[in-house]
Structure 1
Amino acid sequence: MLRSLYIITLVIGVNSCSAQPATGIKLLTTFHIGGSGGWDYLSLQPNSNKLYVSHGTQVNVVESSTGTPLAVIPNTTGVHGIAFVPALKKGYTSNGRLNTLTVFDWQTNAVTGEVKVGENPDAIIYDEFIKQVVVCDGRSHEVTFVDPATDKVVATVAVGGKPEEAVSNGAGMIYVNIEDKNEIVAIDARSFKVTARWPLGSGEAPTGLAFDKTTNRLFSGCSDNKTLVVMDAANGKVVASLPIGADCDGVAFDAGRNTIFTSNGDGTLTVIKENSKDSFSKVTTVTTKKGARTLAIDTASHKIYLPVADFEAAAGANGRPAIIPNTFQVLVFGY
């Protein structure tokens, strides 16, 4: 993912119908998790009350309404993301420092296996159409496809740069932000071939990525120049570029409200309305907390979850302020 473990993520909204304007978003509560270590993605288990939060060498599982601790998935050093396979009731974590995926039973959260993948596995999704787990291997510049029925790698696709985030169109195509090339790569998941490379125009360092299946639009958050790029997934045409906060690392789409959210490391949440497939307008900027640069959205309750911690006032030896121990938390925003 990005430069440090206290980053990220993205969850893609499901399709829905009529839209309402995104106004009145406020902080509802804070889940105080504590402990030490950095973080990356967080994900909601489908049709459940469980929120999975990456946290350094483990994944914290909490109740999504109250933050009550439910379980810990251990030994996931450098964990970035969590994906779920509903039909098999299995979950997967991408362990960036181990170059593995941890396989677990999503009912008991017991670890059931491990899959060896490429270097620094980062973003991870499950694609229901091809029935495979898709992993962005950041350091080896490839995307790995895993069959969850056997937990075997079925294909590895070179993408020519650092894959940062992936989304599926639900019909056999996978789209991947290539952070160091300022482009989106289209992969045909049936043939495991790159079919297109689309430049992001003015967008620099694409990180978070989301998708609207109804309009066939990709939403790419570009962290280096504070821009959300909207792209036509049919042909790679850039149809809009909008200003967002600094240091974005997560993008989510709420189909029920036709609303796009970007989580920005500068301590803001940018809210953008999709008026039509080619018309977008910035609605508001919500104050969150510095370092809250990744998010997950519950498209049923419209709650937005952002992991973060408190930091020391002064920068440390590495040029970044240190995390204050036992301040790790998840901010919950909603209407």
Structure 2
Amino acid sequence: MLPGAKPDWDYVTLDPVRGFLFIGRRADGVTVWDVRSNRVVRTIEKSEEAGAVILVPEFDRGYTANEDGSTTIFRLSTLATIDRVKFGDDSDSGFFDPVTKQIAFTMGDSHKIAFVDAKTGRPAGDLSIDSKKLDGTAPDGEGNLFMALRDRNAVLKIDVKSHAVVARWNTDGCEQPTGIAYDRGGKRIFVGCRGTKPVLAVMDATSGKVISTHEIGRGNDGVVYDSEARRVYTSNGVDANLVIYDQLDADTYVLSEATTTRPYARTMALDPKTKKVYLVTAEGTADPVMKINKAVAPFYPNRYYPDTFTVLTFAPHE
């Protein structure tokens, strides 16, 4: 359990080499948690309002996505902050493209994506998007990003080099697409869908066609694909479960297990070597005096209790 007067969070990112879990805790900044010794290593300086962390080991850099439209750049090897740089007016998350070496920062309130050079930290351009809910994003390894538009029931294919949308596909049978992962070998996009019928949608990355859908829990915010194990993980905060599917081939999926987690543990990180899954959550309440996000759940917490923030670890069966 981690201390904090007003727990809040969004995404988690794992550095599997060092065993560090980077947790975007918004007002509390980025907490670095050692998953091997189960202790806090440090808080990244000048990372207040951070909701996500993007790691770029080849440049020994880490970048945060801060709500005020800035990024805190730090050295991955020492965790020392280098600078806090403004690139826009808001930011939700960020995603690294390994081909162009650019980071795409999603800016829902501004209806656009800001691109930043991951080596220098300098702005590289932007792209306007007709959406306020720019959600999960995954690189295809060929210079493109697949991005979910939760309020448009669509997935975009974005050419990062040209900063242009090259395809837009409707997510038929998938309402409120949120988390995304990609299978490069099978050319399949995995999309977590939050709608009235929560499902994992499997899309053809060439045509954009939805091949199949598979039941998951409510409140999805994370999808991870393990190419080695050929397994798809979905973290679902409202139903408090981790629903996992085995991939038999590109178009065939069977339920592996549905493990109970904790309420509102909605984002996750997978260690590709140990196969452990890390999630975070806190105890909260839906205070009727404050606005409740009923689009997620009728009693979705809008206030969390002090000193209840928790890191959860799930290991595979022996």
The reply to whether TM is greater than 0.5 is: yes
Aligned residues: 302
How far is 1:73 from its partner?
1.1
Q: CA deviation at 1:316?
A: 4.3
1:253 and 1:133 mapped to 2: Cα distance?
Answer: 20
In structure 1, which of residues 146, 170, 183 is the aligned counterpart of residue 141 of structure 2?
170
- Structure 1 stretches of 4+ moved >4 Å: none
Alignment of 1:90-101 (within 5 A): 90-96=61-67, 98-101=68-71
- Structure 1 residues 46 and 155: CA distance shift in structure 2, 3 A: farther
Q: Unaligned 5+ residue runs, structure 2? A: 293-299
CA drift at 1:315:
4.0
Partner of 2:314: 333
Contact 2:56–2:96, Cα closer than 8 Å, also in 1: yes
Task: Work out the CA distance in 1 between the residues paired with 2:103 and 2:115.
Answer: 6
Say if 2:247 and 2:253, in contact at 8 Å, map to a contact too: yes
Aligned runs of 1:202-213 on 2, under 5 Å?
202-213=173-184
SS at match of 2:92: strand
Q: Decide whether the 8 Å contact of 1:34 with 1:329 is kept in 2.
A: no
Does the 8 Å contact 2:46/2:84 carry over to 1? Answer: no
Alignment of 1:167-316 (within 5 A): 167-224=138-195, 225-265=197-237, 266-312=239-285, 315-316=287-288
Deviation string 1:67-126 (CA, Å, 9 cap, x unpaired) is 211111144333211011112101000001x11111011122121112322343122122
SS where residue 118 of structure 1 aligns?
coil
Letter in 1 for 2:2: I
| Structure 2 residue matching 1:87: 3-state secondary structure | helix
Q: Among the aligned pairs, what percent are the same residue?
A: 32
The amino acid that maps onto 2:183 is D
8 A contact 1:159–1:185 mirrored in 2:
no
1:144 aligns with 2:114: yes
Shift of residue 46, structure 1, vs aligned partner: 4.8
2:42 pairs with 1:61: no
Secondary structure in 2 aligned to 1:37?
coil
Query: TM (normalized to structure 1)?
Result: 0.86
Counterpart of 2:20?
50
Unaligned regions of 5+ residues in structure 1, if any?
A: 1-31
Aligned to 1:120: 90
Greater relative contact order, per chain length (Cα 8 Å cut-off, separation 6+):
1
For 2:115, the aligned partner's letter is: F
- Give the whole-Å Cα distance in 2 for the aligned partners of 1:127 and 1:116: 20
Normalising by structure 2, what TM-score?
0.91
Q: Which amino acid aligns with 2:18?
A: S
